[in-house]
A and B are shown apart, each in its own frame.
Chain A
């Protein structure tokens, strides 16, 4: 029996660099396989070659991809795309034609002319297959939720009864509820005997669906975890009470209370759009809340950072999400680190060089980095520099807003480990804002779960996310319990 999909020693290059270097594997009919690997390992590029598609700039450099015994490169067989192989992409919001209604999109992919009276029945059937009601047929993509959009994409991919579905991170852009929806749908597809080729960076969520895992590129390092510290006895450094904040007339945060003790790591966990970043900006004085108070060691702090004293500004530092924007593209690392020494610590010029070396040491960067521009550094290195810049102020509190979400998993765990060590050495209190339950579970002492702008749960991490259970599942339960209350 021939394999449904056979990848033979495939080599793909882009800009003179091999992005897929001699990958081979097979998928048997009815079998489901996950492809995993660090970001930049060419997972998506590999998946697209199964459909005979090379993105701009990618060249086929050797090897072959066979679907049902026929090669897909350089030209796929005519009935392959949409016929034999269906495709589901990463971001459902961008996968659907925004100018066509759901029914039109679905009818078009069936690629056969359907008499007018039978059309609505066919569309209803295709929607029913992915558990969506008929009413959605007349909607445009922007009138659907993320989970619904992705299920419409799956319906379109299934419309011509393919034998293989290529899934490129189909749940990455979705929130927790939509993700569960889509994973359940794909499990049903797999149970119906259709093979899946599932590209993912997050094995935990696909484990229950796939039969086998293929890893390409460098293996990812194990994620980091730390021993929680008992902090109850330590003094409180930062207290926020009743924070309500928003933009214009919409409030994003509602009556949020938060307490931070010295040396503790508090994780603020929540899905995208619940106001986590707003909380970070409120605490660091960049966004003025509508109401609420903030106190630093019992002293009331003004909300606006411009009204805070030098010591107060230095005490709370922010490290942001996007390493690309964190540093000025035309200023060297040295300038970035010197300014806080001048403005916040009033350090004499003679001591700058020594201090910069100490700071770069602390974030495990070589001293040579000091004279580089941010453009010459990788995302992980920039994020370390941003952290060093925050440390340069000698803060008591560092607010980290999704500092690892733009990084691949090995860099992510290295940064988290470093943060944890710095905290132990310097007695820093850290507010770690994240959407990733695994990250929160692995490094935090206490947890604060945000849902629709409110504090849904707060408590010791060990109690809320006991080891041995999937943190993501636990968080979902916590949130569902909360909505029942």
Chain B
């Protein structure tokens, strides 16, 4: 089922959680709402679920106006960050809850409920734990029960609020891959909220980047990562090296290259990822800058090198593969030439770079 939110605004006291947000979620996709905390992503999810009421704007399910519909009647599945399992019920009873509370006319028979619950528990690979209490399960298991419980009522949409946020890194990774496989199996329109960039890039069909109650960019993970719409998105998706330049007649010049910028004049910021920074002992001129190696951090798969630009004392961070580093053996204190292989240029607005992790 497709979902559309139109001109949604929501404030909590003096805090603006959502500021005139409009977005369409296509049917059958797994979409990530990605953003820092306080960006309004959870609020948007809760408004879609009907757990929160928007101050302004409307929600459409499959083109049908659903703003007035209560959470009870929206037929959405909702998975909470802290699982929210019914602590006094067994795993089986938890999953069966949504079926048991149906009005008598539409409630499946006891045998049907049993069959459906066990099928779902098999789907989340927890059928052997049906009689346990939630408190006897690990975090990852609890979240899978929560997912099975949400799926039991055959929702048209699955909404997940930071579903893996409370889990440790390893379980988190396993579970998000598992969620991707599950989604490929059942194809229910799913929206999940996350502040974890890797999670969004790895799992989602589409990413919605949010900041301060607004949508910054919508696109496939590839598109968002390779072509960030603005400085915020660039910053949020990874580490950044910034170089300053100026705009003349809609163009900015940097490292012997010319870039079109959406501004006529003023300052511009050149963004480059650390892994796009090239280091060389021989090259000079032609876009190469001189820099002094201040620090080499050679732990893990990547070697991180911190440099200080010779002319303006700015810090540059570079990342090299182990092989490349082994060939060159750069040492602390050495003067080298530096060049960004690939850059993005954005006008230096007030929003640029004001987000820090």
Determine if chain A interacts with chain B. Answer: no
Q: What residues make up the interface of B, taking CB atoms closer than 8 Å to A?
A: none
Q: What residues make up the interface of A, taking CB atoms closer than 8 Å to B?
A: none
